[in-house]
Structure 1
């Protein structure tokens, strides 16, 4: 019987991993689970399920009921709840778990970064930084900025949830974004501060370069850590090698270049 791999997450890395595993071994059963928060998600290769599991107990039951041999947590770096649910469920079901996390961003010469631990702290950090804010933290959690006096350009894939800033324009768009496009947004809307999560990856990184060129400050929300004890991989290729190593009966291994625990960067 072929192995069954569950990939959690609708990220670019999750889709790439599903494609790698499917191409390398079409007989390998790969199921990708998407949270269902995006109206028209880009679907990966292999089987797809959409929706939650009902907490760690529901996920553990699903792992057992569907004979899952390994789980890859390839969710967004800020999807903290599902990551901890996955760790608890994998431990309960005695299924190996790997976290696939793209590396975080690192400030470059000329950057004016203000790193904070939460969206609430990001809102508080805006005091004195600027009056026209480029808010790129996604459609959820905007309540943290609802009481702010600044004007916001809110960019998200889908329409944001209320409450949100009183003075705001919503821009519905999906990456990858270009440097020229980000430069034009900053120029056209006269933006003087950027707020972002440390999501990492190249798809949305051009805004950081555009902000540096424009000389505007950037409020960066640090990502939460991976649950303690969960090994990590930085790329889909490393995660695919971890799966192959397990299939070869290599035992409890980590992917090449992976670490046993992850920090915040």
Structure 2
């Protein structure tokens, strides 16, 4: 199995498959220093586009894309390479968040649209990671920027917090309160980073939420590790 990783679900999947006797190689992009490594073999670095991924699939029985829900280019390349080689492919994507009573969400299609939707916000908590922060450079607001790695550029008025989640609800409550946040910007990543949304709901802080990209047409997808393991172990007719 080749697992395109970088998420908690990818690590859990590799651990589960290795424990069940499957040989797994997890591919990491290499953007994060000191990543948490899964069981099995690990390769680091890009493939060199679709052609490189096609070459990597030569000895692979199945391809599982368990990258971040916003890693759209990698997913598109994976789907194209799988079609070209006839390799069975599955996308493992944690479910997105669902709006609850009291939430004040503004859904937007892109990070650029999130920047345009801020209006007259004065103090913004930018919880989108390092990629996409450039869209907010030049806006007339103060930003609290949280990421694992430093962004390439920051708004003129910004405070940077380098920290890896997930974060406790009490910590998120304190962060909004101490920094007097009046708008939260986040990506609909799903998973265990929901505490910031709960804290925003309790504080009456509106959330500009970036929708996740659509999956490529015709690609099978599951929302959890158990479903991915079941997909791997389902009987398949050998090619030819």
Into which bin does the TM-score normalised by the smaller protein fall? Answer: over 0.9
Residue 149 of structure 2 is matched in structure 1 by 158
Are positions 1:220 and 2:209 aligned together?
yes
Are positions 1:99 and 2:91 aligned together?
yes
Alpha-carbon distance, 1:68 to partner? 0.2
Give the SS at the match of 1:122: helix
Alpha-carbon distance, 1:251 to partner? 7.8
Question: Partners in 2 of 1:19 and 1:46 — Cα distance?
Answer: 8
Are positions 1:132 and 2:128 aligned together?
no
Matches within 5 A, 1:201-220: 201-202=191-192, 204-220=193-209
CA displacement 1:100-145 (0-9 Å, x = unmatched): 00000011000000000111110010003x2110001111121100
Are positions 1:122 and 2:114 aligned together?
yes
Query: Aligned to 2:175, which of 163, 175, 185?
Result: 185
Are positions 1:237 and 2:192 aligned together?
no
Query: Aligned to 1:19, which of 15, 18, 21?
Result: 15
Size of the aligned set, in residue pairs, is 239
Q: Could you tell me the TM-score, scaled by structure 2's length?
A: 0.97
Query: Aligned to 2:50, which of 49, 56, 59?
Result: 56
Which runs of 5 or more residues in structure 1 are unaligned? 253-265
Matches within 5 A, 1:52-91: 52-64=46-58, 67-91=59-83
Residue 261 of structure 1 is matched in structure 2 by none
Query: Aligned to 2:138, which of 138, 147, 165?
Result: 147
Residue 249 of structure 1 is matched in structure 2 by 236
Structure 1: 4+ residue segments shifted above 2 A? 248-252
Alpha-carbon distance, 1:249 to partner? 3.2
Question: Partners in 1 of 2:139 and 2:221 — Cα distance?
Answer: 37
Question: Partners in 2 of 1:165 and 1:222 — Cα distance?
Answer: 23
Residue 176 of structure 1 is matched in structure 2 by 166
Alpha-carbon distance, 1:186 to partner? 0.6
Over aligned residue pairs, what C-alpha RMSD do you find?
Answer: 1.2
